Amino acid sequence: MTDITMPKLSDSMEEGTILSWLKADGDTVAAGEELVEIETDKANMTYESPEAGVLSIVAAAGEALPVGAPIARVGASAGAPAAAPAGPVAGEDDSAGGAAEIVSPAPPAGSASAADAEGAAAPSPSMPAVGERNGNGARSVFATPIARRLAAAHGVELAALSGTGPRGRVMRADVAAAAGIAAPPAPTSAASVAPPAAPVASVAPAGPAADGVEIRELSRLQQVVARRMAEAKATVPEFQVQTEVAMDAALALRAELKAAAGEGGVVPSVNDLIVKASALALRAHPLANGSYKDGRFELHPRVNVGIAVAAQDALVVPTITDADTRSLGSIAAEARRLAGRVRDGQITPPELSGGTFTVSNLGMYGMTAINPVINVPQAAILGVGATRDVLARDAQGEIVDRSLMTLTLTCDHRILYGADAAEFLAAIRELLERPLRLAL
């Protein structure tokens, strides 16, 4: 038999929680058949059987286990001894997209004071539809992860539903119709795309809280995010530098690109311009594209820019790889492709991994500035505020209209010092204020 261990489904994953088994203990499974739904620090993922055989479940639903711990066995019979663990888990990804250059830090010369979606993959032809019997005679119910969570939240019995998905798979709309509620709308922009999210938070079963306070338990994903943010604040000596960017030329360039693209063309957003400017600046400032780890600097060979996307109760950061060598059109198309992958439940661990820098934009919410928390182990994260109209004086002293944007760079002081951060942020500002290089 072959041991199935807790897979490493993201570059930062240390442990995972088994949400549900999609096959029963003792079932015969096919190679590549979906076995289990696992919650990680970034997403809910389904994991497939590495080979055909009889399934023997070791870890029950709800258990949280470290990466590499056995969760099941599959082989000729449930009682046979386990074989050696399988090879590397599919989906592991190098944290920086290539071997990093390791350099020893020099003393400072100066100092400054983070899927579940409706369109989860359809079951394979060997999987029974809803209502069929598995090998043990138990009724199998196949549903998308979001449908399962919605059913649990509203007390809907999945086995009583007729699924409208492939081979009878129960979908979110099926549960919503049975519960008599409106199905949650699909997100329409990259800023509002819901990532593979954590299970719906539930009211704690403990006694009633005083003064009508509602107590909610954190989902596993929320616990991981909270822990990582706390660790970042406690262990990373961070500081911020901030600047104002005149966005008039960049907005004019975007208008020209929009006119050139015509109907149906992919038009770069303001965030796409910022991603491109950041990527070019990162190429010229390798420390900003690095990490501090074990008393050394790791300088990554690729410039992979992550885009922080807020959801109702989680944060997901898809990565645009090699952003420094992509055209603006390629960056815009990739950002939309990744957003679509998240919406359709097709996002993969490599698409959430490998980031060397992060852009966090709250401008679409009208926020004028943001001081983001570093996405460890990256050296820095860029916070982007809204573009706002102001009155200013030009070089001749005349009062003119200006479109200003506030950029805030949060830095790890162990690898970036005040002058380094200022020069890097100034390079981003220069590229946005003279944006023709972004279009090359």
Q: Which two tokens stand for residue 133?
A: 């019997």
SS3 assignment, position 42:
coil
DSSP one-letter code for 191: G
The model's pLDDT over 341-350, given as tens digits with 9 standing for 90+, comes to: 767 667 777 8
312-327 as b/e: b if 16+ CB within 10 A? ebbbbbbbbbebbebe
pLDDT score of 304: 97
Query: What proportion of the chain, given as a percentage, has pLDDT over 70?
Result: 71
Using CA atoms of 186, 190, 194, 196 in order, give the dihedral in degrees to the nearest 10: 120
pTM of the full structure: 0.64
Fold of 235-439: Chloramphenicol Acetyltransferase (3.30.559)
Question: 284 with 87: CB under 8 angstroms?
Answer: no
pLDDT average, residue stretch 64-90: 64
Whether the per-residue pLDDT at 204 is higher than 70: the answer is: no
Range ranked top by mean pLDDT from 27-36, 42-51, 277-286: 277-286
The model's pLDDT over 301-318, given as tens digits with 9 standing for 90+, comes to: 999 999 987 655 667 788
pLDDT score of 249: 96
Catalytic residue list contains 413: yes
Whether the per-residue pLDDT at 368 is higher than 70: the answer is: yes
Instruction: State the amino acid at position 431 in one-letter form.
Output: L
pLDDT score of 45: 77
**Residue 390 to residues 71, 334, 397, 399: CA-CA distances in angstroms?**
59, 33, 15, 10
pLDDT average, residue stretch 226-252: 90
Using CA atoms of 57, 63, 65, 68 in order, give the dihedral in degrees to the nearest 10: 20
pLDDT average, residue stretch 335-363: 83
pLDDT average, residue stretch 379-390: 96
Q: Between residues 393 and 149, which one has the greater pLDDT?
A: 393
pLDDT average, residue stretch 269-288: 97
- In 3D space, the residue among 189, 190, 191, 437 whose CA is nearest the CA of residue 324 turns out to be 437
Angstrom distance (rounded) from CA 384 to CA 159: 46
Tokens 């966005």 belong to which residue?
A: 247
SS3 assignment, position 63:
coil
pLDDT average, residue stretch 144-167: 74
Average pLDDT score over the chain: 78
DSSP one-letter code for 269: P
Catalytic residue among 154, 285, 300, 413: 413
Q: Burial level of 131, CB count in 10 A (0-12/13-18/19+)?
A: middle
Comparing 190-199, 246-255, 279-288, which segment has the lowest mean pLDDT? 190-199
**Residue 412 to residues 102, 166, 318, 325, 378: CA-CA distances in angstroms?**
17, 48, 22, 25, 8
